[in-house]
Amino acid sequence: METKLDKAAQCFATWKTTSFAERAKIIAKAGELLHARVNDLAHTMTLEMGKRIAEARGEVEFSGNIMAYYAKNAETFLADVELNPEMGEGHLESSPIGVIFCVEPWNFPFYQLARVAGPQLMAGNVLVVKHAGIVPQCALAFEQILTDAGAPEGLYTNLMISHKQSDRVVADPRIKGVALTGSVAAGRSIAAAAGQALKPSSMELGGADAFIVLEDADMELALKWAVWGRMYNNGQTCCAAKRFIIVEEVADQFVASFKAALAALQAGDPLDAQTTLGPLSTEQALIDLLEKVDMATKHGAKLALGGKRLDRAGSYMQPTILTDVTPDNPAFREEFFGPVAMIFRVKDEAAAIALANDSDFGLGGSVFTRDPERGKRVASAVDTGMMFINNINWLDADLPFGGIKNSGYGRELGAMGIQQFVNKKLVRFIKANPPA
């Protein structure tokens, strides 16, 4: 660990003065290699954490697009900003701050890395990364991609360290910023350590996103997004449909169709492209999820579908629907990280907004209505970092990703993502005598 941190610090001393054009050659090449190796990388991902192979390929392709996006746009995003002071001239210039420590999760083993590597390396920073313990081969493969793209030693480095060692890294004076995607508990721990060391940080900590269906929604469209939004990555996604808030007028129709669609999913080998229901990432993840569902039912929730593990080899869970989850039920404020949906019936739009906002999380959310202006009104009224109207499509490098409340702070991707760990320096020129 000591050797790697020292190499990273040495690399920053030269990388920070490297031109955008030279940085872009390496980052763009890394994007090309991700596309070229998509099948091998996707196969490794599926073996390590169980993602269905088609989704794994899509993730690698998107990761390559992110690298290309920042190789193309970083210089524009970080260009000097001219100011208009009352006297003289002034501008803001952007400069990298140093070695950034990234702690990343297993659910998107390449995408999570690309969305910090693309912007931060193009900004002139250097990364040391603690990836999740269950995807070490993905971690090694991503570092190799950058090495093969021509990255200098120390530019992007895996730290195969424990959680306890992470605190030492955060406190190390060579580390100048911290980025974490993970649980609320991990975020509190790492953010506290970064705050103690007076280092900037960004935290993406999950969510319990509302999926609002109003009475004028296109039900066929809403159903398609409901299934995708809950079952993408087998439900192991931070920004995903988790709390289905349905206006009473259309609730029976939606619930019946949603239940039938989830029940029709077929479990199988995630390497088989025909499989529509994959396993959870680990056996412990399955055990934890089953315990949460059991706790919910013990506090009065009803099972409309599923609730048990599948009788087959592997860590598979039945697609599950919970109803009648009341505010005094612990499940009401939980995040179910897997194929478990909670359905709530509400009287009208106002009640839907109120319930959507009654959450400790604030990552994403969606609303379905045939009236675009109504959709915008609801989107503006929901307290969250991202809202989607008639979709849940966050898969675009130009869209800033992040939340509020227990979902964390800071943004990744888009023009905002590259600003997270740069110094915004004011430079002013004025011909004047000092104040009297």
**128: which strand partners?**
101, 157
d(CA 227, CA 230): 5
d(CA 42, CA 64): 13
Pairing of strands 241-247, 209-213: parallel
Cβ-proximal residues to 229 (8 Å cutoff; 6+ apart), any chain: 209, 211, 240, 241, 366, 392
Compute φ and ψ for 30, nearest 5 degrees. Answer: -60, -40
d(CA 188, CA 93): 32
Which are the catalytic amino acids?
204, 238
- Structure-token pair, residue 132: 């999740």
Closest CA to 277 of 223, 308, 322, 235: 235
- The residue length of the chain stands at 436
Q: Do residues 204 and 412 lie in contact, with contact meaning Cβ atoms separated by under 8 Å?
A: yes
Instruction: Compute the half-sphere exposure of residue 84: CA atoms within 13 Å on the CB side of its CA.
Output: 0
Closest CA to 131 of 149, 155, 111: 111
Q: What is the CA radius of gyration of the chain?
A: 23
Compute φ and ψ for 199, nearest 5 degrees. Answer: -115, 140
Compute φ and ψ for 278, nearest 5 degrees. Answer: -95, 180
| Cα separation values, 54 from 11, 37, 232, 272, Å | 37, 14, 11, 9
- Which amino acid type is present at position 46? T
DSSP annotation of 343 reads E
